[in-house]
Structure 1
Amino acid sequence: MKRRERTRQLIELGGLVAKAGLVELTEDDRAVILGLLTEAAARLRDGDREQMLTLWRRRGRRAFAQAEAQDRE
Structure 2
Amino acid sequence: MREWQVKRRERTRQLIELGGLVVKAGLVELADDDRATLYGAFLTVAAKLRGEERDQALLLWKRKGKRAFEAESSS
* TM over 0.5, shorter chain: yes
TM-score when normalising by structure 2 = 0.86
Deviation (angstroms), 1:62: 1.2
Identity value in percent:
60
Q: 1:69 aligns with which of 49, 70, 74?
A: 74
Aligned positions of 1:42-61 closer than 5 A: 42-61=47-66
Deviation (angstroms), 1:48: 1.7
1:14 equivalenced with 2:19 (yes/no): yes
TM-score when normalising by structure 1 = 0.88
Match of 2:43 in 1: 38
Aligned pairs, how many? Answer: 70
1:23 equivalenced with 2:6 (yes/no): no
Unaligned residue ranges in structure 1 (runs of 5+): none
Which structure has the larger Rg over C-alpha atoms?
A: 2
Moved over 3 A (4+): none
